[in-house]
């Protein structure tokens, strides 16, 4: 598998999964089930997972695949793997708030190196090209042919007037306490991995996450942000956030433009 082979496949599968998700999102009603960890799951999660998993296994049968919706994949271990959250932001989906994404990423030696984040209800798509740089695609999102793209780059941050993006569904006092250490110009609220992408495009400077996430929640957004010149570090010691951990659970983290002068936890 080369990056030139990978990128068109993950882009196409993200768009096709987005189409399935929007069919259900725009329907009159859909069932919501509760998984063993008390998180919600819908028919859209399951349909998108089936489509993406089949597509990745057909295209790259020798590459390990980890997906949120297939618990048997969570015990797999390897140095290189594809990781998928077919519908990140299920709560946003259920409440029809639009801030949900399809996330597909490649992890190599502990770091997400390529990825795609597609927000079908917001009509925004971000991904890494074969060379590792990140772009935003605009247009009709034809799964078979890439449309117009524009390079994205993190902001040249002004530490006296930072733009902060925080979780829409998981905001808490600990997050606010940390944000208050900075000189903040304004704040944005967003769901799912869109928060990484807002930092990647320069629409925000920093995204602190003081709460539980899994690697499939963050890998694609992390790849997009890295390809736009950004960084993701652990909240506690500011060391790089790495992937392939035993239970695929992340520590608290901070995603940011390198011009931001990070504060201690």
> What is the reported pLDDT for 29?
72
Rounded CA-CA distance 170/19 in Å is 27
What is the percentage of the chain residues whose pLDDT exceeds 70?
A: 94
Greater pLDDT, 219 or 91: 219
Rounded CA-CA distance 203/224 in Å is 14
- Structural domains present in the chain: 3-151 (3.30.540.10), 162-256 (3.40.190.80)
Residue 176 region by backbone torsions, left for phi larger than 0, else alpha for psi between -120 and 50, else beta: alpha
Look up residue 160 and give its two tokens.
């006296």
What stretches of the chain adopt beta strand conformation (E)? 32-34, 40-42, 64-67, 80-88, 101-108, 111-119, 124-128, 134-138, 148-151, 162-167, 184-190, 206-209, 213-214, 231-234, 249-250, 253-256
User: Taking the alpha carbons of 224, 194, 258, 109 in that order, is the dihedral positive or negative?
Assistant: negative
| Whole-structure pTM value | 0.93
Pairing verdict, β 111-119 and 101-108: antiparallel
Per DSSP, the three-state class of 12 is: helix
- Residue 80 forms beta bridges with which residues? 108
pLDDT classification of 139: cutoffs 50, 70, 90? confident
């Amino acid at each position: 598998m080369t990056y030139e082979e990978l990128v068109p496949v993950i882009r196409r599968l993200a768009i096709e999964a987005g189409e399935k998700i929007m069919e259900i999102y725009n329907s009159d009603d859909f069932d919501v089930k509760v998984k063993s960890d008390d998180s919600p799951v819908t028919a859209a999660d399951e349909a998108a997972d089936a489509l993406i998993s089949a597509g990745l296994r057909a295209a790259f049968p020798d590459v390990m695949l980890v997906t949120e919706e297939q618990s048997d994949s969570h015990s797999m271990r390897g140095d290189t793997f594809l990781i998928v959250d077919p519908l990140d932001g299920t709560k946003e989906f259920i409440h029809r708030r639009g801030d949900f994404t399809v996330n597909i990423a490649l992890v190599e030696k502990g770091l997400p190196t390529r990825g795609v984040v597609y927000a079908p209800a917001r009509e925004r798509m971000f991904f890494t090209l074969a060379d590792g740089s990140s772009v935003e695609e605009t247009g009709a999102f034809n799964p078979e042919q890439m449309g117009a793209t524009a390079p994205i780059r993190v902001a040249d941050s002004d530490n006296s007037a930072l733009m902060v993006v925080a979780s829409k569904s998981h905001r808490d006092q600990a997050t606010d306490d940390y944000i208050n250490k900075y000189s903040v110009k304004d704040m944005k609220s967003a769901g799912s991995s869109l928060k990484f992408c807002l930092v990647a495009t320069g629409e925000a400077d920093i995204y602190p996450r003081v709460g539980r996430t899994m690697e499939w929640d963050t890998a694609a957004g992390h790849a997009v942000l890295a390809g736009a010149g950004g960084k993701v570090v652990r909240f506690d010691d500011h060391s790089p956030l790495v992937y392939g951990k035993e239970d695929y659970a992340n520590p608290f983290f901070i995603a940011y433009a390198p011009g931001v002068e990070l504060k201690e936890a």
